[in-house]
Chain A
Amino acid sequence: MININKIYSFYLDGFKNMKIGVTLWKIIFIKLTVIFVFLNYFVHDKSINTEYKSFQSKSNYVYHNLINKKD
């Protein structure tokens, strides 16, 4: 059987003994915050998923683009 305590202390000791790893985790955290929270406002402006809720309406939207647009 998997010893949960052992796994927990494995990770805990690992994180505690990190040197440069602390800086790297900070960078990962800041980066993910920027990507998912801050940029979300600009990037997740409008998309096919926000504008069209049903499968059929999305399909119709793309269909009209495919038959009407010119490059």
Chain B
Amino acid sequence: MEEHLIDWSRAQFALTAMYHWIFVPLTLGLGFIVAIMETIYVKTNSEFWKNTTKFWLTLFAINFAIGVATGIIMEFEFGTNWANYSWFVGDIFGAPLAVEGILAFFMESTFFAVMFFGWDKVGKKFHLLSTWLVAIGSNLSALWILVANGWMQYPVGMEFNPDTVRNEMVNFWEVLLSPVAVSKFLHTIGSGFVMASLFVVGISAWYLLKKRELEFAKKSMIVGALFGLITSLFLILSGDESAHQVALKQPVKLAAMEGLYEGKEGSGIVAIGILNTEKTLQNDEETFKFDIEIPYALALLGYHDITAYVPGLKDLVYGNEQQGIMSAMVKMQKGKLAVQALEDYKIAKKNNNMKGAQKAKKTLDENMKYFGYGHLKSPEKIVPPVSITFYAFHIMVLLGGWFTFLFALVLYLSLKKNIEKYRVILWCAVWSIPLGYIAGEAGWVVAEVGRQPWAIQDLMPVGIAATKIATTNVMISFMLFAALFTLLLVAEIKIMTKQISIGPNGGH
């Protein structure tokens, strides 16, 4: 497979996934914020809260309408650009996506209509229930997608069938409740909640800066900042669990996230650092040109033990007998055995040699978990792009810390002081909206770039997952997707800003 084609297919998928993720987090979080505001309206029977709910609901609708179906393109791409992968994953990927489709269609679309058309036509409580169900339904849709993604990071609950060359689900609950899938789901929706809170706080801050809609802005800001602070703390906890799972299931990714070439006991976390671009696996150059480290923090975060040994990239590539770490070369040998066993099995079956088939199947089963290594050219191939993974991880964490501080500060100033006077803070809140998107995208970059070269962890590298199609077609469709998504983004920003400038009293 030519590298050029694989890179274009990768780039195309990254482009569509990253654009799709611009629309999703706001839907995940704003639905709950709207539901909370409507709950206040139903409790207080205040027209102010009804109007406030309607305003944020309109922005929710704009984002939803423009973002809807942008994920479909990725499903096309699985079939066209990643055909080997699509076949190999079998029903494991299909089942969660089908559930997602059914949930999205029936739950969301039914209650969406009530939420938008049902004001004054259905009872207040039924309307409120619909709003909550839309919020919950959106997040449940995300669950199934993230379960599928979690399986790619940590494939469990399946058995490889050499007759069909597919993985077959043998335990649905193992797939659904995989610790990687659960932590990924919680951390991802948490990031959506924080993003939506930044959106509400930022827009409210803009109204205060413009000295408009003061009561609306202040009260919206309190709801947004409180929701943001609570969900930021939740995000920290789920992030801790995510990192723990990465340490256990994807140690190469963890080492790349921290630029850790040499493993050590009680390893620290680099709070801020600039990587030395000359550093490679083969030399002894310093990893960082500059860094500030928090001692023991990586061992604590990754293994919940400050004395734990955190393997570095060199341990994981070349092995470390003392620490019981198998080298990538040994895994490659096992992987080649698995690939050869698959071929032997097929040949034996074709020749009606049942004994031979049985023997080959046994070898395949014993080495199947290293199957993907059998396709790698060299052990060093297991290392993802370190600098992208490192910087994306640190941008995400630093921004997450900033958001938590911002929510706490805004909440304090809103409740105890006159926040209108703190214009610098208000501007910070406005500019934190794009920062929220950057943090979310950075999180996905860590998750996906950090697990390269794997399409399915340890089982299938991207070079094998990709379909051999015309590179020109992938390039053309890349350009078209880029144009389409950019147009949608421009439309979103334009319609959204117009609606915001109209304000909460301008009709929805």
Binding site for B on A (CB under 8 A): 10-11, 13-15, 17, 19-21, 23-25, 27-28, 31-32, 34-35, 38-39, 42-49, 55, 58-59, 61-63, 65-67, 69-71
From B66-74, B229-237, B406-414, give the one contacting chain A.
Answer: B66-74
Q: Which residue of B lies closest to A56 (CB)?
A: B164
From B422-430, B443-451, B461-469, give the one contacting chain A.
Answer: B461-469
Task: Please tell me if the beta carbons of A49 and B79 are within 8 angstroms of each other in the complex.
Answer: yes
Query: Known contacts being A20-B58, A39-B484, A44-B80, is A69 close to B463, with CB within 8 Å?
Result: yes
- Residue numbers in A under 8 Å from B469 (CB-CB): 45-46
Measured between alpha carbons, how far is A61 from B164 in the docked complex, in Å?
11
Measured between alpha carbons, how far is A23 from B473 in the docked complex, in Å?
32
Among the listed A17, A24, A63, A69, which residue makes an inter-chain contact with B65, where contact means beta carbons less than 8 Å apart? A24
What are 24 inter-chain pairs, A to B, with CB distance below 8 A?
Answer: A10-B118, A20-B495, A21-B61, A24-B61, A27-B66, A28-B68, A28-B69, A31-B66, A35-B73, A39-B477, A39-B484, A45-B473, A46-B80, A47-B80, A47-B467, A49-B79, A58-B87, A63-B165, A66-B165, A66-B342, A67-B342, A69-B375, A71-B461, A71-B464
Measured between alpha carbons, how far is A70 from B77 in the docked complex, in Å?
22
Task: Please tell me if the beta carbons of B375 and A59 are within 8 angstroms of each other in the complex.
Answer: no
Measured between alpha carbons, how far is A19 from B61 in the docked complex, in Å?
12
Does B488 belong to the interface (CB within 8 Å)?
yes
Query: Known contacts being A49-B79, A59-B166, A71-B453, is A20 close to B113, with CB within 8 Å?
Result: no
Query: Known contacts being A20-B62, A45-B470, is A69 close to B83, with CB within 8 Å?
Result: no
Q: Name the 10 nearest CB pairs between A and B, nearest first.
A: A14-B117, A71-B463, A24-B65, A48-B83, A62-B87, A42-B477, A71-B461, A63-B165, A47-B80, A67-B343
Query: Known contacts being A31-B488, A35-B73, is A23 close to B495, with CB within 8 Å?
Result: yes
B112 to chain A, nearest CB (A): 11
Task: Please tell me if the beta carbons of B66 and A24 are within 8 angstroms of each other in the complex.
Answer: yes
Task: Please tell me if the beta carbons of A20 and B499 are within 8 angstroms of each other in the complex.
Answer: yes
- Residue numbers in B under 8 Å from A32 (CB-CB): 69
Task: Please tell me if the beta carbons of B69 and A31 are within 8 angstroms of each other in the complex.
Answer: yes
Interface residues on B, range: 35 or more
A54 to chain B, nearest CB (A): 12
Task: Please tell me if the beta carbons of A66 and B66 are within 8 angstroms of each other in the complex.
Answer: no
Query: Known contacts being A43-B77, A67-B342, A71-B376, is A34 close to B484, with CB within 8 Å?
Result: yes
Measured between alpha carbons, how far is A52 from B344 in the docked complex, in Å?
24
A62 to chain B, nearest CB (A): 4
Among the listed A15, A55, A67, which residue makes an inter-chain contact with B339, where contact means beta carbons less than 8 Å apart? A67
What are the interface flags for B487-499 relative to A under an 8 Å C-beta threshold, 1 for contact and 0 otherwise?
Answer: 0100100010001
Measured between alpha carbons, how far is A31 from B381 in the docked complex, in Å?
39
Measured between alpha carbons, how far is A37 from B62 in the docked complex, in Å?
24
Q: Which residue of A lies closest to B76 (CB)?
A: A43
Does B415 belong to the interface (CB within 8 Å)?
no
Measured between alpha carbons, how far is A16 from B80 in the docked complex, in Å?
40
Does B309 belong to the interface (CB within 8 Å)?
no
- Residue numbers in A under 8 Å from B62 (CB-CB): 20, 24
- Residue numbers in B under 8 Å from A69 (CB-CB): 1, 375, 463-464
Does B421 belong to the interface (CB within 8 Å)?
no
* Inter-chain pairs besides A21-B61, A43-B80, A63-B165, 18 sampled, C-beta below 8 Å: A10-B113, A17-B117, A20-B61, A24-B65, A24-B66, A25-B65, A31-B488, A38-B480, A59-B87, A59-B164, A59-B165, A62-B84, A63-B346, A66-B165, A66-B342, A69-B464, A70-B463, A71-B453
- Residue numbers in B under 8 Å from A63 (CB-CB): 165, 342, 346
A28 to chain B, nearest CB (A): 6
- Residue numbers in A under 8 Å from B72 (CB-CB): 35
Measured between alpha carbons, how far is A35 from B65 in the docked complex, in Å?
15
Q: Which residues of B from 32 to 72 have beta carbons under 8 Å from A?
A: 58, 61-62, 65-66, 68-69, 72
Task: Please tell me if the beta carbons of A48 and B467 are within 8 angstroms of each other in the complex.
Answer: yes
Measured between alpha carbons, how far is A35 from B154 in the docked complex, in Å?
32
B445 to chain A, nearest CB (A): 21
Task: Please tell me if the beta carbons of A62 and B165 are within 8 angstroms of each other in the complex.
Answer: yes
Q: Which residue of A lies closest to B65 (CB)?
A: A24
Q: Which residues of B from 360 to 399 have beta carbons under 8 Å from A?
A: 375-377, 381
Does B212 belong to the interface (CB within 8 Å)?
no
